[in-house]
Copies of this chain bind each other. A is one copy, B any other.
Amino acid sequence: MTHPQVAFVPWEDKAVEALLKRLLFDQRDLIPAIAQQHDSGEVLMLAWMSPESLRETLKSGYVCYWSRSRAALWRKGETSGHVQRLVDLRWDCDGDTLLLLVDQKGPACHTNRRSCFYNAVREGVTVSLTSPLASEV
């Protein structure tokens, strides 16, 4: 598949605020966001967004989550370089879940795997379907 590097156009404030009004954040003011690699369709991870992290994502074009453990904005890849460029944003019929189509640089998972969803059971035994990626030189 090709990887068109479409130029990201930052959302206008009005459009961002209109979207925030449509979405249903939970009692913690968070909404779950699924990250999917835009061309391969691979589901990479699920994390949470606050209104502020979604605003930043739509202005910058790079995905920013809300870290529940650190209670802080989590600019994906800020330290590792494994950024998620936003290709398209979708939301569901109830407005309570986001689907982020992204272009993931390197691994999405902190275990250095492309996707966080590598655990499965085969013949009654838990297995890792993928191995950590080799480190970049």
Residue among A18, A92, A118, A126 with most chain B CB within 10 A: A92
How far is it, in angstroms, between the C-alpha of A91 and the C-alpha of B45 when the chains are bound? Answer: 10
Is there an interface contact between A89 and B22, defined as CB atoms closer than 8 Å? no
Closest residue of chain B to A122, judged by CB? B88
Asked if A50 CB lies within 8 Å of chain B CBs, one says no
By size class, the interface of chain A is 35 or more
How far is it, in angstroms, between the C-alpha of A110 and the C-alpha of B93 when the chains are bound? Answer: 8
Asked if A117 CB lies within 8 Å of chain B CBs, one says yes
Interface residues of A (CB under 8 A from B): 11-12, 14-15, 18-19, 22, 32, 34, 36, 40-43, 45-46, 88-95, 97, 99, 109-111, 113, 116-121, 124, 126, 129
